[in-house]
Amino acid sequence: MANSYFQFKQFTIHQDQCAMKVCTDACILGAWFAAKVPDYFNILDIGSGTGLLMMMLAQQSEAEIHGIEIDLAAFKQLKENVAQNGWRERLRVFPGDARTYSFPRKYNFIISNPPFFENDLASASDEEQIAKHSKLLKLEELVQTIDDNLDSQGSFGVLLPYHRWAYFHELATRQGFHLVENLFVKQTPKHPSFRSILHYSRHKENFAPEYELIIQKEEGGYTDDFIELLKGYYLYL
């Protein structure tokens, strides 16, 4: 059974009411973009869950960050989590469906760790299906929702299974977005990539680099790159 909370260096995530718990790949997503977000940005987190991404970004910037969560139990916990830290004045959360919600502004940056097991085995509970599977928010709808709520100079970041990134790239390109960078994540040097973190902009980039992050060394323990990325967050790094 997952712990009811996850303690970071500067904040705590309570997660007993959320189907999706704190996981390593979501932490990588938050840390990867936290260093890239200017202080003046307005940010939207689509499918905030526990509020993990909101707080990881808030820790590293002065940005105003909004989040939306469709599951009411998760939203209740989201509100509690974002209220228990030093950045709560810059954090605002909404209950509802991002596809139809009328947000108070257009955003400079949008981040999402979406439900992505679209055609895989479904989870047992409705809450898990919403959190883990594209039951309510399909990737096509995610791209459209981002387009609707991103300003004319904006960019966005998303976490996907490795095998879905090419399909998502096709959707994003068709919508007029341009790839800025792509981070492939491996568990160990011997494992294949299992996650892709994608960064898109409305403006065409001359070069879109690909990076690779390996979480653990073959002999055990975190890699230096992983430690460098997460050391501002994980307690024991």
| Residue 183 located in a structural domain | yes
| Residue 207 located in a structural domain | yes
Per-residue pLDDT at 64: 96
Tokens found for residue 65? 């960050």
Contacts of 79 (CB under 8 A, 6+ apart): 93
| Residue 235 located in a structural domain | no
- What residues pair up with 184 in beta bridges, in sequence order? 196, 212
Give the phi and the psi of residue 151 in degrees, each rounded to 5: -75, 175
Per-residue pLDDT at 205: 81
| Residue 236 located in a structural domain | no
Per-residue pLDDT at 136: 60
Among candidate residues 132, 160, 124, 131, the one with its CA nearest the CA of residue 25: 160
CATH of the domain at 105: 3.40.50.150
Per-residue pLDDT at 121: 37
Give the structural domain span for 182.
5-230
| Residue 214 located in a structural domain | yes
| Residue 237 located in a structural domain | no
Q: Model pTM?
A: 0.90
Work out whether strand 150-161 and strand 107-112 pair parallel, antiparallel, or are unpaired: parallel
Q: How many domains does the chain have?
A: 1
Per-residue pLDDT at 185: 98
Which residues of the chain, if any, have pLDDT below 50?
A: 1, 117-134
pLDDT, tens digit (0-9, with 9 covering 90-100), for 51-64? 999 999 999 999 99
Q: At 111, which amino acid appears?
A: I
